[in-house]
Structures are given as structure tokens and as C-alpha cells.
Amino acid sequence: MTPPDMRKPEALWAHMRHTLAFYAPRVMDPSGGCFQFFKDDGAVYDRRTRHLVSSTRFVFNHALAWRWFGGAVGDVAHALAFVREAHAQPQGGYAWVLDWQDGRASVVDGSNHCYGLAFVLLAHAHAAEAGVPGAREGIATAFALMEQRFWEPAHGLYADEATPDWQLAPYRGQNANMHACEAMLAAHAATGKADYLDRALTLATAIARRQAALAGGLVWEHYKTDWTSDWDYNRDDRTNIFRPWGFQTGHLTEWAKLLLMLERRLGDAAPDWLLPTARRFFDTAMKHGWDATHGGLVYGFAPGGAVCDGDKYFWVQAESLAAAAWLAVRTGDAGYWQWYDRLWAYAWQHFVDHEHGAWYRILGNNNTKLSDEKSPAGKTDYHTMGACQDVLAALGVQPPARGIA
């Protein structure tokens, strides 16, 4: 099954619409927020569980629909209100998991995660661009909370997790900081405030240079409290989707994309290490992550390059094709467009659900389906539609002008 020419804006727009169409008729819960658990055919199989990551990412999705296709600002506001009113806790944080029933929230997991706060910041940034009341102020509030509770100035990075009463856990991780960098770029785009761009560069420098130097020039996931590498964390646990062991193929390419976005936003002030580092991350991910037998990128590889998790995840393919496009545009190297086309061809054949819409979440090493759960908590196709939007940005394609409602 051959995809259309995904270098053309029209094809990217069509694919975003196709994905939005999967969620649009069934995602909105009139009692608050969005449903978050969908089978392949769109059936909702859990109407009550609400995860902070999904709640915030649905704000992004609805803002994307507004930005490109004239979606309703009210939908963005509806999704953001759930984050601000249901997830927000009296202690100042945001509950990780809620049980939502009859318009009332019960806390299932009240722990505070910097990863979650990064998406709270991202959600407010995209809602602010759509003109949602209070969203711009929410950017500053979310940033201040991250600074107060998680920022470690001696390391130039954020801590990872805290109890509901803000006792920090010893674990430190790069993933929360990577998404914090993404959120800072979005906050800068929404406000123009230099503080956010400065923080994005600080985070990128700490992870992509200092921490990477501890791991042969690549991004390791897990660290101890003093930010020394923890080489054994979750080594034998493949169930933790937020803290997997090994070098993550998709995180290397996601960082490659973020470094190039940061470079473009910094302009003449961009340091000269951003591009070569982005190339090294992407090229290494393709070298060790591409499955030459079955196609697609594997989830993770061990130090030394051996595959440690051969499953194929939707977001790894999506982030990697976006990174390939940014590298192709930035360098003029046709090899990156070849990777872009190869990744789209693989995803089009194996991940895109051409019948119902959206992408399947996970496939086995040989591309067999492992589940009929298309979108459990965390997966909202923010990665897939975001990748299309990122490719459009790489190509310099601007959204249509819209008045702020």
C-alpha cells in the first residue's frame, strides 16, 4: 500500500483530518473533559479513567484542529477546563490519574510528575494561541510551579516525581526534561517571552551535551539523584511506558527534531553544536533502530547497539519521520528525505488504520497486532498529528490566518 506524497502539504492536511475524524464524533464527554480509552473501531471501553497526559494532549489535539481546520475554540476550552478544574489539586499540583463519574473527580493517583506538568504547560500554550480565556496566564502559572517544585539549578534540569505533598522521589529522568523543552518552545511561540526560550536551551544543553557525554554521546533515560547514570533502572521491566530501559530510538529522533526547532527559533544566537548533535542522534537511531527484516523502528537498543525491545510503537515512527523532514530541510541531504519516505511507507502499510482512522498503538517485531486497544491512556495521536504539523513547520507552511474568538 503506497502512501500519497507526504512531502506535499495537502497530503499532510488530509492525514490530520483523517486522524481527527476518528476522535471527533466520540471523544468529547459532555460532563467534562474527553474520553480516553478507545478500541480500534472507536468504541469507548473505559468511560471513567482520566490520565493527565491524555487530558492535556487532547487540548493540543483540539488546538491543532482549530489552527488548521477551523475547529471550535470551545472544544479547546472544554478540554483545558478539565485539566484546570478536575486534575488541579489543592496542594498546587495536578493529579496523575482520576476516576471521573457523574461529573465528579476522585483521585486515583495524586502523585506529581514533571512530565505531566510539562504537558500542562504545553496545553496552556496551544490553548493560548487559540485565544482560550485564562490560558496565557496559565502558561506563567504552570512554569512557576515547575520552577518551584522540580527545578534543580545546580544541574540545569528538572527533578521527576513528587508525592501529593511535594516530597521529591530520588529518580531523575531525561524524558520529563525533553518534554519540558518541547513545552518551553511552545510557550515561547505563544508569548514571545525570552525566559521560555532560554530555558529550552538550558535543558537541551544539559541533556544533549552534558548528560549525553556520560553515555557515549547518546541520550540515556535514567539517572540517580545526583544525575549520574542509572544503568539498571527498569532493566527487567518492560511494562513502564514512561520509563523504559535502554536507549530509546524515538527519544533520540525526538531530540533531533527539538534541537533543530530550537536552532531555528534562536536564529543567529543558536550555538553551533545543535545541528551536528541532531544528526548524530538521528543517524545512530536509524543505524541501531531500523529493522532491516520487517521494517520499522524498534523501541529500544542496549549499550553496544543490540536490540533490547523489538516491538514497534506508533510514536517512534511518527517522531522519527518528523525529525527526518527537519534534517532534510536543514541540511539539503537527500538521504534524510529517503528516510522520511521510508518511514511513511512503513507506517502507511502497518500503523495507519485506513478503515477507522488514527494509528494503531503497538505492533510486534514482525508487525503483528498485539492489541485491539487503539488509544489507551496516554495515546491521543498527539504524536502522529503533531508530526504532520511539525513537517509542515519544517517546510515553512503556515496555518491559515484566524481571528482569535
**What pLDDT does residue 405 have?**
37
Average pLDDT of 183-202? 98
* Interior angle at CA 366, CA 360 and CA 369, nearest 5: 30
In degrees and rounded to multiples of 5, residue 217 shows phi and psi of 90, 5
**What pLDDT does residue 95 have?**
98
Full DSSP string of 261-298: HHHHHHGGG--TTHHHHHHHHHHHHHHHHB-TTT-SB-
Full DSSP string of 167-229: PBPS-EEHHHHHHHHHHHHHHHHHH--HHHHHHHHHHHHIIIIIIGGGGTTS---EE-TTS-B
Q: Can you give the pTM of this predicted structure?
A: 0.97
Average pLDDT of 299-328? 97
Average pLDDT of 202-217? 98
Q: What is the pLDDT of residues 342-359, one digit of tens each?
A: 999 999 999 999 999 999
Nearest to residue 204, comparing CAs of 269, 154, 274? 274
Cell numbers standing for residue 181:
523543552
**What pLDDT does residue 10 have?**
98
Confirm if 389 and 68 have CB atoms less than 8 A apart: yes
**Residue located via cell numbers 526560550:** 197
CATH of 9-394, one of 1.20.150.20, 1.50.10.10, 2.60.40.650, 3.60.20.10: 1.50.10.10
Average pLDDT of 10-24? 98
**Residue located via cell numbers 494561541:** 129
Nearest to residue 376, comparing CAs of 24, 20, 39, 31? 39
Side chain identity at 308, as an amino acid letter?
C
Average pLDDT of 111-138? 98
Cell numbers standing for residue 350:
502497518
d(CA 363, CA 282): 22
Q: Would you please indicate which residues are annotated as catalytic (active-site) residues?
A: 251, 383
Average pLDDT of 195-216? 98
Average pLDDT of 165-194? 98
**What pLDDT does residue 231 have?**
97
- Stated length of the chain: 405
Q: What is the mean pLDDT of the chain?
A: 97
**What pLDDT does residue 224 have?**
98
Cell numbers standing for residue 109:
493517583
Distance (Å) of CA 22 to CA 50, 228, 353: 19, 43, 10
Nearest to residue 297, comparing CAs of 255, 339, 258, 246? 339
**What pLDDT does residue 402 have?**
66
pLDDT band at 176 (very low <50, low <70, confident <90, very high): very high
Q: What is the pLDDT of residues 256-286, one digit of tens each?
A: 999 999 999 999 999 999 999 999 999 999 9
In degrees and rounded to multiples of 5, residue 114 shows phi and psi of -60, -35
